[in-house]
Amino acid sequence: MRELIEDRFEIFLKDLKTIVNIDSGSGYRPGLEAVCDFFQERFRQIGWRATRHSFDNGNVPCLEVLNKPADSNESAYDLLFIGHMDTVFGQGTVADWSFSRDGDRAFGPGICDMKGGLMTMLHTAEILQQTGVSDNISIAMAFNSDEEIGSRASRPWYEGLAQNSRCVFVFEPWRTTGERVLQRKGGGNFDVICHGKASHAGASPEDGANAVVELAHQILAVQKLDRSDRGSTVNVTVISGGTADNVIPDYAKASVNVRITNEDEGRRIESGLRALSSNIHTPGVRVETIGGINRPPMAPSETTQKLWEQIAVIGKSIGLEMTLTHTGGCSDGNFTAALGIPTIDAMGIRGGSVHSKDEFIELDSIVPNLHLMCEIVTAFSEGRITY
């Protein structure tokens, strides 16, 4: 099988270049539809059923792929593969920064997070179909397009698939240090908004209520909620306010990113953020907090640990170091793990510098990772993995 996979290397890269060079930032429907079109056609060519779904008034196109019709059993699918088509890079990015290859690395918007993972899903399927392995196993795949903004629209759909599956593989990037992921922090986003009163900053400042000044106080209060010693982080990430340099601002907003290790910490932080409105420093200003924790922490169950131990043996047998790490980054695996479904994450291509103009993948990880996934599915199909 390894030789067959090695022969696909250049095809893999050509396909990856195609989808990397499509702008598909969250909410950019034309680009997301184009990526969806690419995968739908490729799965059609190998005889797998690819069904389009459209959520949030068409702004979140998704693709559901099955290698065979689902039955009525409680676990209709042996495996569910999950990957997201959206990136953090907006419309027009590719015009200035597109796919490139330099030495042992390739670069481009979303190449690591997670178009490389999407391509791993596709090429794994094509290899399994070509070798006949897929005849003896039921596989579902979910390609969503709102993961980078919380998966609010697509979550019920892929959770339904997960609840009907024996286990889940998430194709977020394989860490540059060679580690996979079973444990992630939970997280959420909040906006702290200050509503004041505008007035002339020179002629009548006393008639106004400065929302920016109040926001400065609130930001300091927000940072006190951070408890890194407990593994919880609270960070102000974006601020805005004011309209002109001679106007007392009547509006100011701060975006706050929260990451938590357990649900108790989530409740503590959320309670603290809601309480900001009762501690105001600037007369005439009203403070409100919107948002919430939208991803539960991902923690491995005993069943997930047993599954991982068997997968690690497979990886070691083909020369891979199978190690684990935990991360503050969230994924759709947070949701499937919270449902009690064994979830193995970071099964995409090895790479790093995600969400930046330096985002890359390491080319020598493509073949080993494809090999690993094909061997894992083969083991499932032959009944060699039990948990």
Contact 297, 334 (CB under 8 A): yes
CA distance 175 to 351: 6
Q: How far apart are the first and last CA of the chain?
A: 26
Q: Cα–Cα distances in Å, from 64 out to 26, 101, 244, 338?
A: 18, 31, 49, 21
In a domain, 387, yes or no: no
Residue 139 lies in a domain: yes
* Partners of 144 in beta bridges: 84
Does some domain include residue 42? Answer: yes
Average pLDDT over residues 111-124: 98
The residue among 327 and 199 whose pLDDT is bigger is 199
pTM: 0.88
pLDDT, tens only, 320-335: 999 998 888 899 999 9
Predicted confidence band of residue 127 (pLDDT cuts 50, 70, 90): very high
Task: Give the percent of the chain with pLDDT over 70.
Answer: 98
Structural domain includes residue 267: yes
Average pLDDT, integer, range 95-111: 97
What DSSP letter does each residue of 125-140 carry, written as one string? HHHHHHHTGGGGS-EE
Domain boundary among 278, 294, 310: 294
Residue that finishes a domain, picked among 271, 294, 317: 294
Torsion sign over Cα 259, 262, 265, 270: positive
Backbone angles phi, psi at 270, to 5 degrees: -65, -40
- Above 80 in pLDDT, residue 75? no
pLDDT of 84 higher than 90? yes
In this predicted structure, the answer to whether residue 71 has a pLDDT above a threshold of 70 is no
Confirm whether 386 is domain-assigned: no
Contacts of 288 (CB under 8 A, 6+ apart): 192, 193, 195, 277
> Is residue 257 helix, strand or coil?
strand
| Residues spanned by the domain of 242 | 187-294
Domain match, 205 and 286 both = yes
Same domain, 198 and 332: no
pLDDT at position 279 is 96
Residues 152 and 74 in one domain: yes
Under a CB-based contact definition with an 8 Å cutoff, are residues 120 and 171 in contact?
Answer: yes
Q: Using CA of residue 333, residue 28, residue 117, residue 129, what is the dihedral sign?
A: positive
Same domain as 195, residue 114: no
- Residue 177 sits at the vertex; the CA angle it makes with 175 and 178, to the nearest 5 degrees, is 70
Kindly state the tokens that stand for 262.
């357990």
333 and 209 in a single domain? The answer is no
Taking each helix axis as running N to C, give the angle between helix 29-45 and helix 9-20, from 0 to 180 degrees, rounded to the nearest 10.
150
Number of domains in the chain: 2
Q: Which run of H or of E encompasses 11?
A: helix 9-20
Domain end residue (candidates: 294, 323, 338): 294
Per-residue pLDDT, 1: 80
The per-residue pLDDT for 155 is 97
Which is higher by pLDDT, 284 or 179? 284
In the predicted structure, residue 318 carries a pLDDT above the cut 70: yes
CATH of the domain at 267: 3.30.70.360
Provide the pLDDT for residue 176: 83
Inform me whether the pLDDT recorded for 74 exceeds 60. no
pLDDT at 70: 67
**Same domain for 215 and 168:** no
- Mean residue pLDDT across the chain: 95
Residue 72 confidence (pLDDT) above 60: no
> Nearest to residue 17, comparing CAs of 91, 111, 92?
111
Q: What pLDDT is stored for residue 273 in this prediction? A: 98
Does pLDDT of 261 surpass 70? Answer: yes
